[in-house]
Structure 1
Amino acid sequence: MPFKPVLKALRRIEDGVLALILAAMIALAAYQVIARNLFDTGLLWGDALVRVLVIWVALIGAMVASRNDDHIRIDVLARFAPPRWQRPLKRFANAFTCAVMGIFAWHSARFVRFEYEDGTIAFASVPAWACEVVLPVGAAVIGLRYLLHTLDPP
């Protein structure tokens, strides 16, 4: 496969960014708890940043899960279907997931663009669009992966 080196690099980037953001989120949340309980202080923007990092961890984690089609799914129909129907049902589910993620990517990109044009601030002086850009990017990556799973199931 000619894309193998690119996919391998993307895998490493996703894993590294996910680990880094998760560690930062845990460290910041722990700092906030300790600072509030022991010193009656904390970062004014700390809780808002933790909420943003939760969204980033969720989307990047979903991207990682989509690599090998490891998402949680409701597959009762496919489990009880005859063996000859299982592959077509899986392809249909993958195509449906691709379509939903495509719609989500499109509309979240529109939302992020609106936030950019409006100049909305998330916290401190960080623009909201910078916090939300993971939504369309993550959805697009997941959608593309499920398109590949539809064409060539794992």
Structure 2
Amino acid sequence: MSRPAGRALVWLDRVETGLIALLVLAMVVLAGAQIVLRNFFETGLEWADPLLRAMVLWAAMLGALAAARDDKHIGLDVLAHFVHGKTRRAIRIVTLLFAAGISATMAWYGYGLVQLDFGGGNTVAGIPTWLVEAIIPLGFGLLALRFALRAFLPPRNEDMPVLAPELP
């Protein structure tokens, strides 16, 4: 991999990880505030619960992308544990390409969902519903791309660093 491409991937990984951390932190703070407001002041933020549900959706999709990035996603490749060499490599390619195909299909239908809600005027905590749902086609599209690329790369193991070494 070329040095600029390696740097771009390192920065992309950092941004992705930072977004997940920021999103989870915001969810903890917002949920904590809701608990305090409800238990001690008998009130709450009307918009917080729908926003938290939307944030969980976004965190789940970003987390799935990070898992696929680090080759830590859930895999149903039982057969691969009983074979070795080229057969194992072939099974890995087939299963990852199958996952890419399923993810691409989910992205396609997610896009249809976003189209249905686009311009509808519905909101989640003041955010247009289609914008909240946009993570579905975007996330699954990126998952499809990531799975397809991972199919032709060597698997990551625990001895390999998740991120490339620090670049100056």
TM range (shorter): over 0.9
Cα separation, 2, equivalents of 1:87 and 1:114: 41
Does 1:133 pair with 2:137? Answer: no
Counterpart of 1:120 (choices 111, 119, 122) is 122
The gaps in structure 2 that reach 5 residues or longer are: 156-168
Structure 1 position 132, deviation (Å): 1.1
TM-score by length of 1: 0.92
Which residue number in structure 2 is paired with residue 23 of structure 1?
25
Structure 1 position 120, deviation (Å): 2.4
Identity score, percent: 35
The gaps in structure 1 that reach 5 residues or longer are: none
Which residue number in structure 1 is paired with residue 8 of structure 2?
6
The amino acid of 2:47's aligned partner reads W
Does 1:95 pair with 2:97? Answer: yes
Counterpart of 2:55 (choices 53, 59, 67) is 53
Cα separation, 2, equivalents of 1:70 and 1:84: 21
Q: Would the aligned equivalents of 1:91 and 1:153 in 2 still touch at CA under 8 Å?
A: no
Q: Would the aligned equivalents of 2:77 and 2:95 in 1 still touch at CA under 8 Å?
A: no
Equivalent residue pairs, number = 153
Cα separation, 1, equivalents of 2:133 and 2:61: 11
Cα separation, 2, equivalents of 1:27 and 1:106: 34
Structure 1 position 117, deviation (Å): 3.1
> How much is the aligned-residue C-alpha RMSD, in angstroms?
1.4
- Give the number of the structure whose residues are more often helix, by fraction: 1
